[in-house]
Amino acid sequence: MTKLAFIGLGRMGYPMAGHLARAGHAVAAFNRTRTRADAWANEFGGRAAATVVEAVSGADIVFSCVGDDPDIREVANLAFAAMTRGAVFVDHTTGSAMLAEELAREAAAKGLAFVDAPVSGGEAGAQKGQLTVMCGGDEAAYAKAEPVMRAYAKMVKRLGPAGAGQKTKMVNQICIAGVVQGLAEAIHFAEKAGLDPNAVVEVISKGAAQSWQMENRAATMHDRKFDFGFAVEWMRKDLRIALAEARKTGAQLPLTALVDQFYADVERQGGKRWDTSSLIARFGR
């Protein structure tokens, strides 16, 4: 049994921390809204901590899954000051590679280790324990955290030093943006052409056009149902991070930039909290 802390019990963190507790680890969980931490403790048998400092004190590994760079920075500042030397901080938030690199240096200076470990798989993946975890950081720290992360992951891999996990997540989101836009256009075309989109997808999903998005979102896109997962505002945050990194490295992301603007159109339609498949809403009916 490993002594763990988990900071951030949102849609992803809540079930992820639950898997850790069910795996037999001693988990202290903190959330800004205390009632949610209490509910988590009642459901999974862990301990609700009143503060970040209380949660991380004595923990072998500290996990966080919060909102954006400022949230990661705030949590890390509090946690680093209270963690035991030799402990590992694993951040599952999707943030910038630059911040991950900074936090890795700061952790090392305090005798700690930092692993950036953004995830893919959405809320459903978190609930089922089937996430993909993309990691960057020190090899020894990763080796310590990897078996623990298996409680909620189907794939965990170290891609390189600090920041590599975040950069890999950017690649993931770049791919998703293009695939979802292509699927939205394809279903829109099928509708306008007088075809049955569900029948069309049944056929083409057995060929080269097949994708996770097609298998899981094509039918609901045709039905204009958009309450199945990763929100547009979160995707725009991730694309903003990827586009900023591209400007820094000189990478060209014309399609990603275009799809980001399409998501801005969806937000203007009131779809800030719709899931990413809502790109089709731009076409009406």
Confidence grade of residue 144 (pLDDT, cut at 50, 70, 90)? very high
Q: What is the mean pLDDT of the chain?
A: 97
Q: How much is the pLDDT for 208?
A: 97
Query: Catalytic residue at 154?
Result: no
Average pLDDT over residues 170-195: 98
pLDDT tops 90 at residue 195 = yes
Q: How much is the pLDDT for 285?
A: 80
Contact 133, 106 (CB under 8 A): no
Average pLDDT over residues 250-271: 98
Average pLDDT over residues 9-33: 97
Q: How much is the pLDDT for 228?
A: 82
Bridge partners (DSSP) of residue 3 are 26
pLDDT tops 90 at residue 224 = yes
pLDDT tens digit sequence for 70-117 = 999 999 999 999 999 999 999 999 999 999 999 999 999 999 999 999
Domains and CATH numbers, the chain: 3-161 (3.40.50.720), 168-283 (1.10.1040.10)
pTM: 0.94
Cα(102)–Cα(99) distance, rounded to whole angstroms?
Answer: 5
Catalytic residue among 169, 225, 248, 272: 169
Q: How much is the pLDDT for 230?
A: 87
Confidence grade of residue 236 (pLDDT, cut at 50, 70, 90)? very high
Average pLDDT over residues 45-59: 97
Query: CA-CA-CA-CA torsion for 4, 7, 13, 16, nearest 10 degrees?
Result: 0
pLDDT tops 90 at residue 20 = yes
Q: How much is the pLDDT for 34?
A: 95
Portion of the chain with pLDDT greater than 90, in percent: 96
Helices (H), 83-163: 97-109, 122-128, 139-149
Alpha-carbon distances of 78 from 33, 65, 89, 184, 191, rounded to whole Å: 17, 15, 12, 43, 53
Cα(24)–Cα(41) distance, rounded to whole angstroms?
Answer: 14
Confidence grade of residue 198 (pLDDT, cut at 50, 70, 90)? very high
Q: How much is the pLDDT for 135?
A: 98
pLDDT tops 90 at residue 229 = no
Q: How much is the pLDDT for 130?
A: 97
